[in-house]
Amino acid sequence: MIITGKIVDEIEIKAAGDVFHELFGTRPHEISTMAPDKIHGCDLHEGDWGKVGTIICWDYTHDGKKKVAKEVIEELDEENKTVKFRVFEGDLMEHFKTLSLQIHVKTHGINNLVTWTIEYEKLNKDVPDPISLMEFCIHVSKDIESHHHDKK
């Protein structure tokens, strides 16, 4: 059984793609107001919001359990609207040796495409692929879209 992998999923959103990218890149602490049942907080631990190398800590509920993930921003590309986080501490590290999440936004007027990519290495072959984590990311994206769409 393969212990490394990559999962990619996309969602079309009607919310402004630039705003979506900015939220994850420079204002992730605001996401808890848009998906409060999933994201309970995002705290700055080291560095500055919107800078590569910044360390942030997420408090969230996934699969019915409260969890924590500490991440470092590894990539922040304004031109290509890409943000990449690498998880290095927290509940996910109980199952994965490495795990990174990338969010890419492709803007097309009012319809924008958000692509989530999760790359991972499991600690062992018995660990399931992070499919439920991908579903969680898609649901958070829908909550952000609803929040911004309802404000219009």
Helix (H, G, I), strand (E, B) or coil at 150: helix
Other Cβ atoms less than 10 A from the Cβ of 28: the count is: 24
Number of separate domains in the chain:
1
Q: State the Rg of the chain over Cα.
A: 15
Compute CA 88 distance to the chain's CA centroid, rounded to the nearest angstrom.
14
Other Cβ atoms less than 10 A from the Cβ of 105: the count is: 25
pLDDT in tens, 61-82: 999 999 999 999 999 999 999 9
- Rounded distance between C-alpha atoms, residue 145 and residue 152, angstroms: 11
CATH of the domain at 14: 3.30.530.20
- The mean per-residue pLDDT over the stretch 34-39 comes to 96
pLDDT band with cut points at 50, 70 and 90 for residue 51: very high
CA-to-CA dists, residue 117 to 24, 57, 85, 102, 152, angstroms: 14, 19, 10, 5, 29
- List the one residue out of 86, 42, 83, 33 whose CA is nearest residue 60: 42
pLDDT computed for residue 105 by the predictor: 95
pLDDT computed for residue 18 by the predictor: 84
Task: Report yes or no: 45 and 55 within 8 Å, Cβ to Cβ.
Answer: yes
Task: Report yes or no: 98 and 120 within 8 Å, Cβ to Cβ.
Answer: yes
Residues spanned by the domain of 49: 4-150
DSSP 26: H
Q: Which residue has the tokens 């404000």?
A: 151
pLDDT band with cut points at 50, 70 and 90 for residue 52: very high
pLDDT in tens, 92-148: 999 999 999 999 999 877 788 999 999 999 999 999 999 999 999 999 999 998 887
